[in-house]
Amino acid sequence: MRMAELVMAVVMAVFSLYLMWKSAELPIGWIPGEGPGGGAWPFWLATGMLLCCIATVYRWARRLTPESRSEDVYMDSRAFKLFLLNAGALAAMIGLFHIVGAYGAIPAFLIFYLRFMGGHSWRLTGTFAVVTPVITFLFFEIALQKTLPKGFTDPWFEPIFDFFY
């Protein structure tokens, strides 16, 4: 945990420096007749971020924060495996949105999570994998008229929309 706190503070300090540099693409000083330049607000905020990171490193060095005194592991192997499985499954689902669309990705994610991670029956898994996209479609696309990505399945939905409109 102690090392993780230092790494996070250093990474965020580097990110702050990047933000300061990126903000400086627009004027960060005073422009006569216009006031503060467009980059001033994010530049000074990023400077504030950097100062906070420096304060965190200082407090870490003096062991003032609970994390800097902790001997615990930041993430044990089981937690890391669960984290990778969940974050990976989510990333895969979002990636599938681009290819097979929401109505292909959602059932695939549900089947993976309910059947293979949750160990639920095929009956329950199948029910959720069918009902969830149907409800999502009726609520978002028909009732609220918010179109979700459909990937290559887009033309398959034309008869359904023709039916409703």
Give me the phi and psi of 35, to 5 degrees please.
85, -155
Can residue 155 be called a binding residue for other proteins (CB under 8 A)? no
For residues 61 and 24, give the distance between their C-alpha atoms in angstroms, rounded to a whole number: 31
If the CB atoms of residues 139 and 156 are measured against other proteins, the closer one turns out to be: 139
Can residue 75 be called a binding residue for other proteins (CB under 8 A)? yes
Residue 105, exposed/middle/buried by CB under 10 A (0-12, 13-18, 19+)? buried
Give the residue, chosen from 52, 142, 153, 157, that forms a contact with other proteins under the rule CB under 8 A.
52
Can residue 67 be called a binding residue for other proteins (CB under 8 A)? yes
* Side-chain half-sphere CA neighbours of 79 within 13 A: 4
If the CB atoms of residues 132 and 153 are measured against other proteins, the closer one turns out to be: 132
Can residue 148 be called a binding residue for other proteins (CB under 8 A)? yes
If the CB atoms of residues 120 and 126 are measured against other proteins, the closer one turns out to be: 120
User: How many chain residues interact with other proteins (CB under 8 A)?
Assistant: 67
Give the residue, chosen from 59, 142, 150, 157, that forms a contact with other proteins under the rule CB under 8 A.
59
Site string for other proteins, 86-115 (x = CB under 8 A): xx--xx-xx--xx---x---x--xx--xx-
- The residues of the shown chain that bind other proteins, judged by CB under 8 A, are 1, 4-5, 8, 12, 19, 22-23, 25-26, 30, 34-36, 38-39, 41-42, 45-46, 48-49, 52-53, 55-56, 59, 64-67, 74-75, 78-79, 82-83, 86-87, 90-91, 93-94, 97-98, 102, 106, 109-110, 113-114, 117-120, 124, 128, 132, 136, 139-140, 144-149
